[in-house]
Structures are given as structure tokens and as C-alpha cells.
Structure 1
Amino acid sequence: MRLSDFWKRMEQRFGDGYASSVAADYRLNALGATVNEAIERGDSAKSVWRAVCEEFDVPQRLR
């Protein structure tokens, strides 16, 4: 998954403004980090997206 696809899915799930807030502020249990921290440390966009899907109710069409 490309990082641009990841952000598109985040915006589709959470909305334009809230997606960046979730990415910055919410610590994902599966990663032990926020979305931004995980991406900065080099986690793949795909693994971060999977963690988001586990943590939040993400519609099947976005998975």
C-alpha cells in the first residue's frame, strides 16, 4: 500500500480534519505508537492501516 492510499483511506474513514488528529493523538495498541510515530519509525503503511482497522470500526470497503 502506498502512503498516499493510506491517507486517502484515513480521510475516507475519519474525515479530512479528524484523520490528522487521529494520526497524531491516538496511540494504537497493536503498534504501541500513534499513526504518525509508526510511519516516522518506518512501519509500512499497510501494517499501520491494519492496526487502524483493528482499533476502529473501519467499513469493509476500505479494508
Structure 2
Amino acid sequence: MRRSEFDRAVRDEFGARGPSLVSDLVLSAVGDRTATEALAAGEPPRAVWLALCAETDVPLARRHGAGRLEPRRS
């Protein structure tokens, strides 16, 4: 997962409350840091995304493949 995919996944899953979750919610799975802090420290975006999903009870079906663009159709 790229950082742009992380940002898209957060926006798609959490909408307007996404930015506050990323900057305020402490995630134990990434060293008791916020998503913003974890990403700045070099944690992979996929690990931060999965930690955020686990902490906010996002269903498993919506965790994997999140943030990816749909393939272009010819």
C-alpha cells in the first residue's frame, strides 16, 4: 500500500472524521502512536491502515484492497 492509497482508504472508510482519527487516535499496534506519528516514523502505510482498522472495528471485508483505484476499462 502506498501513502496515497492509505489516504484514499481513510477518506473512503471514515469520511469527514478520517483526518481527526489519523491525527488523534493512538494505535497500540504501531507503538502507541497516532497514524500520523507512525507514518512519519517510517511504519509501512499498510501496517498503519490495518492498525487503524483494528482499533476502529472496521470489518475484515473492508480492510484488504482498500485505497486501490478501480482498473481502467477500455
Unmatched 5+ residue regions in structure 2? Answer: 65-74
Larger radius of gyration: 2
Instruction: Compute the TM-score of the two structures, normalised by the length of structure 1.
Output: 0.87
Unmatched 5+ residue regions in structure 1? Answer: none
Q: Report the counterpart of residue 19 of structure 1 in structure 2.
A: 18
Question: Cα RMSD over matched residues?
Answer: 1.2
Percent identical residues: 37
Q: Report the counterpart of residue 40 of structure 1 in structure 2.
A: 40
Runs of 4+ in 1 over 3 A off after TM superposition: none
Instruction: Compute the TM-score of the two structures, normalised by the length of structure 2.
Output: 0.75
Q: Report the counterpart of residue 52 of structure 2 in structure 1.
A: 52
Q: Report the counterpart of residue 5 of structure 1 in structure 2.
A: 5
Number of matched residues? Answer: 62
Q: Distance in 2 between matches of 1:51 and 1:24?
A: 14
Q: Is the 8 A contact 2:27 2:55 kept in 1?
A: yes
